Amino acid sequence: MIVLVGIAIIVAGFALRLNTLLVVLVSGIATGLVSGMSFNDVMAEFGRLFLTNRFVTLPAVMMLPLVGLLERHGLRERAEALIRQWASATAGRVILLYTGVRQVAIALGINVGGHVSAVRPLLVPLAEGAARASHGILRKSTVDRIRAHAAAAENVGNFFGEDIFIAVGSILLMKGFFEGVKIPVNVWAIAFWGIPTAVAAFLLMGWRTRALDREIAREAAAAAEEDQQP
């Protein structure tokens, strides 16, 4: 039972918002010490495991100069222009389109998007603009509803697209873990089995964004009715 101390440290450390990397290391040190290793042994073992798992970080680093260079020359702006061209009509459709673009892009290993760099400056204005175009002025509660769904689209698109591309940390982490316990797995097989859930996630977003459009229409109608009463 005492070897579970590492898990307790992770839960406590994350809850206290301590630096995740340091929490992980302290958890490993504690686990090693309680299982009877000396501090030096733990360091050697962690060092060995850190080295053999360098391949988990490697592709991300190798991709950065390429992605940075393309960003410098307007990759994001081009993606934006495409969304603007396609996105006619409703807030829900804009958000759904973003989910799809986000999923496909990250499945190709391109991390366009993010709450800071895409949701707030790009997706929220487009979605709110589409809703205002058809319903006029929106209540704060309606605006908040649109924004919450925009943030959800970012998370869903990100999480359920990334496991299709083999060069991202999560798939390589899985491979590293299984190699650690001496079970060979093929990264392409892992990526393949990520596809059904990615499709399901997109369809669910389709259902949620249609519901969002209906909610927006209902709330806008209710607001208009209130305005007409003396």
Binding flag, residue 190, other proteins (CB under 8 A): yes
Instruction: Using the rule CB under 8 A, give the single segment among 86-94, 130-138, 144-152, 216-224 that binds other proteins.
Output: 144-152
| Interface with other proteins in residues 18-37 (CB under 8 A) | 18-22, 24-25, 27-28, 31-32, 34-35
CB of 130 to other proteins, least distance (A): 17
d(C-alpha 131, C-alpha 121), whole Å: 16
Count CB atoms within 10 A of the CB of residue 68.
Answer: 11
Listed residue (131, 38, 63) closest to 92, CA to CA: 131
CB of 176 to other proteins, least distance (A): 4
Instruction: Using the rule CB under 8 A, give the single segment among 85-93, 114-122, 131-139, 218-226 that binds other proteins.
Output: 114-122
Q: How many residues does the chain have?
A: 230
d(C-alpha 53, C-alpha 189), whole Å: 20
Binding flag, residue 149, other proteins (CB under 8 A): yes
Binding flag, residue 98, other proteins (CB under 8 A): no
Sole binder of other proteins in the list 100, 139, 159, 219 (CB under 8 A): 159
Binding flag, residue 138, other proteins (CB under 8 A): no
Binding flag, residue 194, other proteins (CB under 8 A): yes
171 near 133, Cβ under 8 Å?
no
Nearer to other proteins (CB atom), residue 72 or residue 228: 72
Output 183-186 pairs: Cβ under 8 A, ≥24 positions apart.
none
30 near 6, Cβ under 8 Å?
yes
DSSP H/E element including 141: helix 140-162
Binding flag, residue 227, other proteins (CB under 8 A): no
Instruction: Using the rule CB under 8 A, give the single segment among 84-92, 130-138, 198-206, 219-227 that binds other proteins.
Output: 198-206
Provide Rg for the chain, Cα atoms.
23
